[in-house]
Amino acid sequence: VADWYAEDYYKTGPTRNPRGPETGDFRVGRGGSWIDHPAVLATTYRNRLLPPFSANLIGFRCAKSP
């Protein structure tokens, strides 16, 4: 399943208890899904997407702040 990430998150985000960016126009899809070409299945693959984009091949991960 592809995940959403901010494009520069790993360059500027905190290393402890990250909460993500407050603003931005795009999100980064990291990795691929069951329908993608094998070349994009690696977690190192990135794709720029607009936040309104939705599809059954985009997933999410749950996280809870302490």
Q: Which residues contact 35 (CB under 8 A, 6 or more apart)?
A: 57
43 has pLDDT over 80: no
Distance CA 48, CA 51 (A): 10
Taking the complete model, does pTM exceed 0.75, yes or no? no
Q: What is the reported pLDDT for 9?
A: 65
Is-contact 31 41, C-beta < 8 A?
A: yes
Measured CA to CA in angstroms, residue 51 lies from 14, 16, 38 at distances of 22, 25, 24
Confidence of residue 2 (pLDDT cuts 50, 70, 90): low
Distance CA 20, CA 4 (A): 11
